[in-house]
Amino acid sequence: MERILVLARHGQSEFNRLNLFTGWRDPDLTERGIAEARAAGQALKRAGHAFDVAFTSGLVRAQHTCALMLEEMGLAAIPVLRDGALNERDYGDLSGLNKDEARGRWGDAQVHQWRRSYDVRPPGGESLKDTAARVLPFYIEAILPRVMRGERVLVAAHGNSLRALVMVLDQLDSETVAALEIRTGEPLIYRLHADTTVAARSVLERDAAAA
């Protein structure tokens, strides 16, 4: 039995393009983001992948990415389950602020700590640890059982909600995960053992997936 789990960060959003903290704000994809999502779907199809079910967040940029990927794969009719547990990390008071302006106001070190550390919260927001506290139970209860019974599963979500999940799948510590970057529109493909650990991991490079 193949136990396939594919994780994909949404394509570039309007806030990504403008270098803004996004969090739970709800911008849609840019033209580039649409192209990235379509290219990811095309690359997965070329590689012989298909899905039985997809999961995405409560935010439009992830939902749009998921829909475009499935459309390119000819799988628009499969079940797509949306849940806020997969939402991006809440950046609180930083949401909507330009990242360079934030560095000018609080300093590079503080902004870097807010963005990349495991357990430091930005003002009014979530740490990666907080994000993991909602992502991981949802993964264990809703996503993993489907993978383990042989369903091919796509998860289209966000940089930090996926970082929280990859941290567990790849057994990363809190220091290593600080350097983990998940690029927009670049699928991560996991094959799991029967004990739920990772048997194999590969990345469909975004440049190789370009339409």
Enumerate the active-site residues.
10, 88
| Residue among 104, 201, 194 nearest 148 (CA) | 194
Specify which residues 80 forms β-bridges with. Answer: 54
Residue 112 corresponds to which amino acid? H
Tell me if residue 116 falls in helix, strand or coil: helix
H or E element that contains 198? strand 198-203
How far apart (Å, rounded) are the C-alpha atoms in residues 209 and 11?
Answer: 13
Q: Is the dihedral of CA 25, 16, 35, 198 positive or negative?
A: negative
How far apart (Å, rounded) are the C-alpha atoms in residues 19 and 17?
Answer: 6
**Going by DSSP bridges, is the β-strand pair 153-157/53-56 parallel, antiparallel, or unpaired?**
parallel
How far apart (Å, rounded) are the C-alpha atoms in residues 7 and 189?
Answer: 7
CB neighbour list of residue 157: distance below 8 Å, 6 or more residues apart = 7, 8, 9, 10, 55, 56, 57, 62, 86, 87, 88
What DSSP character marks residue 203?
E
